[in-house]
């Protein structure tokens, strides 16, 4: 894993967008893997700036998202489909037909998971996948205990995740209890992973993910085995790792 330490969230957003944009320029027909949550929002704003300046175009890109809440549709402001359109897709030239996000309204779990896995298979490998990390180590909505070999699945969100995500809702009770998520297998099949972490509340989990055992208890720990992960993290998110293992960071940085 390559660790890029940046000063703060603003720098993180710029650096991540640079890395992402370089991939699009290199391969305009690229398959992009998107995440939601608050961490990538700044990066999406930077990508929009690059699009507006004519540096990048998404016209030929395919895009696939990690996850979607169950029980709410694309017109619901809390859905990840709405989020992606509001924060990025409506402001760039990506074609609607090239956007893939699980359908949270499909109550037939098997049908929806099979449909999404078929899309993942047909798209081929995701060229670059953006990931955030949950405080409990989840990636996508693959909560602690998820099998590393799993495909797309419907998950029951943990109390920790509901607590962390309630900030996007008027009331905690409104946070959906279930979600569809791409499995860890799909994530690990990506050619390159750009993992983003910002803020002091990620410091502990970043430390555990990198220095701890590879265990389903910390789903993100599997990323230690991926050959091409870049962690872009700010000083606060790297605080614990740096103070406990300054040499380790140096070593990882040297990789």
- Contact by Cβ (8 Å): 183, 103: no
Single out the catalytic residue among 5, 68, 112, 143.
Answer: 143
Residue 26 among the catalytic residues:
no
105: exposed, middle or buried (Cβ count in 10 Å: 0-12, 13-18, 19+) = middle
Q: Residue 33's closest CA among 43, 49, 20, 50?
A: 20
Decide if residue 127 touches ligand F6R (CB under 6 A). no
Q: Would you state the structure tokens that stand for residue 233, as one six-digit string?
A: 């993290």
* CB of 250 vs ligand F6R, minimal distance in Å: 27
> Which residues lie closer than 8 Å to 69 by C-beta, 6 or more apart?
78, 79, 80, 104, 176, 178, 179
Decide if residue 104 touches ligand F6R (CB under 6 A). no
Residue 85 among the catalytic residues:
no
Residue with Cβ nearer ligand F6R (82 or 245): 82
Which residue of 36, 146, 153, 203 would you call a contact of ligand F6R, by CB under 6 A? 36
The stretch near ligand F6R (CB under 6 A) out of 5-13, 132-140, 146-154, 169-177 is 132-140
* CB of 81 vs ligand F6R, minimal distance in Å: 11
- Contact by Cβ (8 Å): 129, 30: no
Residue with Cβ nearer ligand F6R (32 or 35): 35
Residue 143 among the catalytic residues:
yes
Residues 67-86 that bind ligand F6R (CB under 6 A): 67
Residue with Cβ nearer ligand F6R (135 or 253): 135
In the complex, which residue's CB is closest to ligand F6R? Answer: 132
Q: Residue 39's closest CA among 119, 109, 130?
A: 130
Main-chain phi, psi angles of 215, to 5 degrees:
-145, 145
Residue ranges in the chain assigned as alpha helix (H) = 9-26, 41-52, 80-87, 109-123, 159-165, 184-188, 203-211, 239-244, 246-254
Residue with Cβ nearer ligand F6R (79 or 98): 79
The stretch near ligand F6R (CB under 6 A) out of 14-22, 31-39, 42-50, 118-126 is 31-39
Task: Give the binding site for ligand F6R (CB under 6 A).
Answer: 35-39, 66-67, 132-134, 138-140
Which amino acids are annotated catalytic? 67, 136, 138, 143
């Amino acid at each position: 894993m390559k660790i890029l330490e940046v000063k703060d969230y603003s720098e993180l957003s710029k650096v991540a967008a640079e890395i992402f944009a370089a991939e699009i320029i290199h391969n305009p027909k690229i398959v992009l893997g998107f995440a939601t949550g608050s961490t990538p929002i700044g990066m999406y704003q930077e990508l929009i700036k690059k699009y507006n300046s004519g540096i990048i175009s998404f016209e030929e890109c395919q895009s696939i998202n990690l996850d979607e809440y169950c029980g709410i549709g694309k017109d619901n402001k809390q859905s990840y489909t709405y989020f992606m359109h509001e924060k990025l897709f409506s402001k760039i030239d990506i074609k609607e037909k090239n956007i893939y996000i699980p359908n949270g309204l499909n109550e037939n779990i098997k049908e929806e998971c099979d449909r999404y896995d078929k899309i993942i298979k047909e798209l081929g490998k995701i060229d670059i996948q953006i990931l955030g990390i949950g405080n409990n180590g989840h990636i996508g909505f693959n909560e602690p205990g998820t099998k590393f070999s799993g495909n797309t699945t419907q998950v029951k969100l943990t109390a920790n995740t509901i607590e962390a995500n309630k900030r996007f809702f008027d009331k905690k009770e409104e946070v959906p209890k279930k979600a569809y998520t791409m499995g860890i297998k799909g994530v690990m099949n990506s050619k390159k992973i750009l993992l983003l972490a910002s803020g002091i509340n990620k410091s502990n989990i970043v430390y555990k993910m990198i220095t701890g055992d590879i265990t389903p208890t910390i789903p993100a720990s599997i990323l230690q085995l991926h050959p091409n992960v870049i962690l872009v993290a700010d000083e606060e998110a790297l605080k614990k790792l740096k103070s406990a293992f300054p040499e380790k960071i140096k070593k990882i940085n040297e990789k």
